Every structure is written in structure tokens, then in C-alpha cells.
Amino acid sequence: MASHRRPKQPSRTRVTVLTATAAAAVALSSQAAQADPQPSKKDVKSEVDKLYEQAEQATEKYNGVKAQQDKLQKEVDGLQGQVARGQGELNELRKGIGAVASGQYRSGSLDPSVQLFLSGDPDTFLERAATLDQLSGKQAEQLRTIADKQRRLAQQRAEAAGKIQDLADTRKALGEKKDEIKGKLAKAQELLNTLTAKERAAMEAEENSRASRGNERTDLGNDVPASQRGAAALAAAQAKIGSPYVWGATGPSSFDCSGLTSWAYAQAGQSLPRTSQEQANAGSRISSQSGLKPGDLVLFYGDLHHIGLYAGNGTVLHAPKPGANVRYESINNMPFMFGVRV
């Protein structure tokens, strides 16, 4: 007769392992359920737009530092030129005194005043000159001129040294701003790379829908420019529709926002400061959109980091942002601050 044996019970160790495995599986399933989903096209676009705006803010700061660097470089070059010319004049003056000393030495009567000068301390000489009976009026004037020239050269050298240090600090700040801009743009590109080709195409189509890319597709109305200068600046900018936005660029083939406006007005014979914030003070302010005329500058955002040219009928012509070209766009697509008539 077959025996009926009870089934073998699982060991305590095996039960523990099975329980732990089941718990881990449940935990992983829960984590997967709670994990953030892949960012949507809308989320990516929002973040990319934010990064582009931050990059443009940094670009205008970069432009300001770059303009300061250029100014300092000119000042340093000018001071160094003055020092070089002054040193040459000083050398000629010393030659004159040296000729006097040589003549006196050959005659056996080296003037004490000249001896003292040749010791390398003309300032001390001038303090004691009144006590030297042998000093002639001409020699006194020569030595006084040399001493004055030495003092001026010392001042110019000190000023140049200070400007050179300022220039070094400015270059460092410029490099930091450049790295910040590149970092923002690289992060934006990483986000764009997470989208599918179809999603990127849809985003580009949405971006293009914000703007008209040619004169024939944009109704600028019948507004008349307030001046020939404004009209000429707007015409110059219109000739650049389709040119790419490149941070730090001032034309003629690529632009950032303030680069376009400054280039356009330069074609009209008017020099503008480099940054949007400085250009905001380049003329008379116009507080309302209704007061704008074609060719007026238009400032956007609270910190005034973006600028364009009013084109008429509620339309602005500008270099929008990285990845976009110079184009017309509704003035209402950005937070309007005020206009400026140059």
C-alpha cells in the first residue's frame, strides 16, 4: 500500500528570500509608476524658450562688457603711446644736458648742478638749486623741464598700469559671460534633442506661425516714419530679413537684437550705444504703442534685454533669439515696455 507522506515545508531561508524578492518587485513597480514621465513637447518648448531668454539676457550683459573692454583697450593704447612719446622727449632733453656736461668736463669745470643731475635725482637738485651759484638760468630751466617730464611719465605709467589691470578684469568677466551663454544654448540643444523629428518639425512650424518672413506677407499699414533717419534705419533692417540671430553679432550677415538696431541706425548715419539698455536712453521716450512710428526703437521685458524696430501696424522687426532669423513679429508677442525715437 502506498504511503502518504506530508509535503516538505519550505525552509525559513527560502521563505525570506521569496518575500524579499516580491517586496523588491512591488517597490520597483511603485517607483516606475511614480517616476516622472518623459517631458512633453510643450514642456520642452517652455524650458527651451526660458533658456533662450536667459541666454539673450546674458548676451546683452556680454555686449556691455565687450564695449567696456574695447573702450579700455583704446585708453590703454593711448596712454602707452603718450608714455612712449614722453620717454623719447625725455631722452632728447637728457642728451642736451649730457652735451653740456661733456663740454664742462673737457674744460675741467663740471658744473655742480650738472653733477647733481647726473646723479639721477633732479628733484633733489631743484630743491637745492637756489644754493648753487654756478647754476645758469638756461640749465635750471632744462633741469626743471626734465623733472616735470619725469613726474608726468610716472603718472602716465601708473594710470596705464591701472587701466591694464581693469582690462584684465574685464576680459575675465567677458569670458565668464561667454561661458554662461554657451552653457544655456548647449542645455537648450540637449532638450531639443530629446524630441522626435516629428515633434521638432511641429515646434518649428509653431515658431514660424508667430512671424511673417517677407514684406509681401506682412501688412505694415500706412504709418509714416517720424524722420528720414528712422525711415532709413528701418529700410536697412528690412534688407536683413532672414539673416540669422547670432549672439554678440553686429552684422552685416548676422545679428543679435541690439546688434541689428545699432547696425541699422549706423546705415542711417546715427551711432547708437551697443546694448539694448543703453539704447533705451538714446532718444525721446514713447510710453504707449499708439505713439510709435516706423523706425522707432521698441524695448521689451522689465530689464530691457530685448529691442527691435517698430515697422508699423503693431508689428516689430527684430532679431528674435537663438535659432531664429531677423523677422517681423507682432509687438504683442513680448512684454512691451516703451519706445524710443532717435
Contact criterion met (CB below 8 Å) for 181 and 51: no
Q: How far apart are the first and last CA of the chain?
A: 114
- Whole-angstrom CA distances from 269 to 79, 231, 265, 317 are 30, 12, 6, 19
- Please tell me the total number of residues recorded for the chain in this structure: 342
- Residues facing residue 339 across a β-bridge: 286, 298
How would DSSP label each residue in 45-83? Answer: HHHHHHHHHHHHHHHHHHHHHHHHHHHHHHHHHHHHHHH
Half-sphere exposure of 42 (CA within 13 A, CB side): 0
Most distant pair of Cα atoms in the chain: their distance = 151
User: Which helix (H) or strand (E) element contains residue 258?
Assistant: helix 257-267
- Residues facing residue 212 across a β-bridge: 328
Report how far residue 77's alpha carbon sits from residue 150's, in angstroms, rounded to the nearest whole number: 20
User: What residues act catalytically?
Assistant: 257, 306, 318
